[in-house]
Amino acid sequence: MARIPTAPIKGARDFLPRDLAPRNRVFQLMRETFERYGYEPLETPAIEHSSVLEGKYGEEGERLLFRVLKNGRDLESAAGELLGRGAEADRSAGALARALSESALRYDLTVPLARVIAARQNEIVMPFRRYQMQPVWRGDRPQRGRYREFFQCDVDCVGSRAMTVDAEMVAIHYEVYSRLGFQTFVTQVSHRGLLDALMESCGVAPELRTPARTQIDKFDKIGADGVRAELLRVGLSERVTDALLDTLSVSGAPLDILETLAPRLRGTEQGETSMRELREVFGFIRELGVPQERYELRLSMVRGSDYYTGTIYETVLPGSGLGTLGAGGRYDKLVGMFLGRDIPAVGISFGIERMLVAMADAGLLLGDVITTTQALVTLFDAATTPASIALAQALRAAGVRTEVYPEPKGLGPQLAFGSNKGIPLAFIIGPDEAARGEVKLRDLRTRQEVSVPQAAAPAEALTRLE
C-alpha cells in the first residue's frame, strides 16, 4: 500500500480524550452560562450555498473559503464548459471557484444566523436569544492558536434595541471568565459612535477620521506617545492631536468619564446616542452585579469589523500578550441582510481556542482529569470473571464510569494500563477475594489498597472519587 499521510490536514487537529477533557469542560460551562441567561442552542449545516456566503466577508475573506467541488454530472458539465472555452477561459482562482463549486463550508456563525432568521421568520419568536458553538473553516495560514478548522462560540440576541441586552453581553463575559478561574480579565466597553463624536468635537477633519482611528487602535501596542507621532504623521495638526489625546486620556469610572465628556458629546447625533446608550448600558451592567474592576469604558477602542453600529466589547487579559479573548457588539444592519430589512442585534463571540491557550498559561487546566473513566475492573481468571463483570455493572449502576480490562492477564500490566490512562481506582477480584465475597480496591493515585465487601464497593468508590 502506498504511504498514506496519517496526520490531520494542515491547520486541523485530532482531539484525543485528554485533549477533549478541558475543551468539553469549557464548552459545558459556556453552554450552562448561556442557557442561564435564557439563550438557546441553534445549529446550522457545515455546508452553505455559495451565494449565502459570497459578498459577506470582503475579498480577503472570500479567498479563504473552503469550497465544495461540484460532483458527478454537474462537475463534468462545468469542466466541459471550461474546457470548451479553452484559451478564453477565465483562469483566475475566483472565476474557477465559481464555475466548479456552488457551495462552501461555513466561515462564521453570523451569516448562517442571518439566513436562518430569514428562512424561519414565521417560527422564530423575537427577541431571539441564541447561542451557537460549531466549527468554522478558513483557509488561513495556521499559527499558534489559529487553525483552519476551529470552533466559534457565539451568543446573540436578535430583535431588540434595548440596552438591557447589551449589558447582558458583559455579564455573560464576566460569568464565563470568572467561572473558568480567570482573575484579571477586563471587559472593555465602548460605542461605535463615541470615538467619531469625540474626533468631531476635537476638530478632526472627516477625511482624517478613518486613518486616525487606525492609529488610535494601536494604543495598547505603541502607547500615547506613539499614537501622537502617528496621528501627526497621518496629517492631524498638533492642536487637534493634543486635544484628541487629552480627551481620550480622561479616566475614571465609566459614568464619571461620560459626565466629564458630556459637554463634548452634546449636539451631534452620534455623540448624543452613544452617550445615552453607554449610560444605560453601564447602569444595567451594575444592576447585573458585575464587579466594577471587571469592566471599563475604553474611549480608544476601535473594533475592526465595519458592521458594528452601537455598543462594542473586548475582553482582554492584561499582561498576557494574548490579545482579545472575546469580543462583540451591536450590529443592527446585518441580521436582516437576507430579509431586506434591518433587524437589530447584539452579540459576542468567545475565542475558545485562545481561551484554552490562556487557561494553560495561567495554570487553570492543571486540575483537569485526563480521562473520563473513573474505575478499572481487572480480570483475574476465567473463574472470577463473572463476579468482576457483575461488580462493573454495580459500579456503573451507581454512576461510576467503569472500564473492564478485556481479558485475564497479569495484574501488573492491567494496573499499569489503568495508571497510564489516569484512571483513579482499580478493583481486583482474585480467588481469595471471590471466596470471601470481597473485592480489593486499589487507589492508583496513592497506591493504597483496601478490601471491601463486593456489595459495598460502589459506595466506597463514590466516596473516594468525591
The DSSP result for 379-411, as a single string, is ---TTTHHHHHHHHHHHHHTT--EEE-SS---H
Q: Which three cell numbers stand for residue 38?
A: 435564557
Closest approach of its own copies to the CB of residue 115, in Å: 5
Quick one: which segment of 156-164, 224-232, 302-310, 321-329 binds its own copies (CB under 8 A)? 156-164
Residue 6 interacts with its own copies (CB under 8 A): yes or no: yes
- CA separation for the pair 79, 76 (Å, rounded): 5
Is residue 48 at the binding interface for its own copies, with CB under 8 A as the rule? Answer: yes
Near its own copies by CB under 8 A: residue from 58, 203, 223, 399: 399
Stretch that binds its own copies, among 90-98, 205-213, 253-261, 323-331 (CB under 8 A): 90-98
Kindly tell me which residue out of 25, 29, 61, 118 binds its own copies, with binding defined by CB under 8 A: 118
Query: Rounded to the nearest whole angstrom, what is the least distance from the CB of residue 100 to its own copies in the complex?
Result: 6
DSSP states along 146-208: B-SEEEEEEEEEES---HHHHHHHHHHHHHHHHHHT--S-EEEEEEHHHHHHHHHHTT--GGG
60 vs 269 by CB, closer to its own copies = 60
Confirm or reject binding of residue 45 to its own copies (CB under 8 A). Answer: yes
Q: How far is the CB of 339 from its own copies (least distance, A)?
A: 9
Using CB under 8 A as the binding rule, whether residue 24 contacts its own copies is answered as: yes
Q: Decide if residue 260 touches its own copies (CB under 8 A).
A: no
Q: Footprint of its own copies on residues 230-259 (CB under 8 A)?
A: none
User: What distance in Å separates the CA atoms of residue 417 and residue 118, rounded to the nearest whole number?
Assistant: 53
Binding flag, residue 59, its own copies (CB under 8 A): no
Q: How many CB atoms lie within 10 A of CB 376?
A: 24
- Assigned C-alpha cell, 208: 482624517
Q: Residue 349 is inside which H or E element, if any?
A: strand 345-350
Stretch that binds its own copies, among 131-139, 199-207, 215-223, 433-441 (CB under 8 A): 131-139
Residues numbered 284 to 313 that lie near its own copies (CB under 8 A) are 284, 287-289
Residue 75, CB half-sphere, CA atoms under 13 Å: how many? 6
- Taking the C-alpha atoms of residue 18 and residue 421, their distance in angstroms, rounded to an integer, is 9
Q: What is the 3-state secondary structure (H, E, C) of 100-120?
A: HEEEEECCCCHHHHHHHHHHC
Q: Which of 1, 225, 319, 435 is the binder for its own copies (CB under 8 A)?
A: 1
Q: Which of 59, 83, 144, 207 binds its own copies (CB under 8 A)?
A: 83
105 in contact with its own copies (CB under 8 A): yes
Q: Is 325 in the site for its own copies (CB under 8 A)?
A: no
Q: Which of 8, 226, 252, 410 binds its own copies (CB under 8 A)?
A: 8
Q: At what angle do helices 17-36 and 352-361 cross, to 10 degrees?
A: 110
366-395: contacts with its own copies (CB under 8 A): 371-373, 376, 379, 385-386, 389-390, 393
Q: How far is the CB of 253 from its own copies (least distance, A)?
A: 18
Q: Report if residue 130 touches its own copies, rule: CB under 8 A.
A: yes
Residues 188-207 that bind its own copies (CB under 8 A): none
The grid cell for 373 is 473513566
Q: Is residue 407 a contact residue for its own copies (CB under 8 A)? A: yes
Please identify which residue in 59, 72, 269, 341 interacts with its own copies, judged by CB under 8 A.
Answer: 72
By CB under 8 A, the count of residues binding its own copies is 113
d(CA 242, CA 248): 10
What the block records as the C-alpha cell of 7 is 496526520
Helix (H/G/I), strand (E/B), else coil: 424: coil
Using the minimum distance from each CB to its own copies, give the nearer residue, 9 or 304.
9
CA-to-CA distance for 61 and 420, rounded, in angstroms? 44
Do strands 128-137 and 67-69 pair parallel, antiparallel, or not at all (unpaired)?
Answer: unpaired
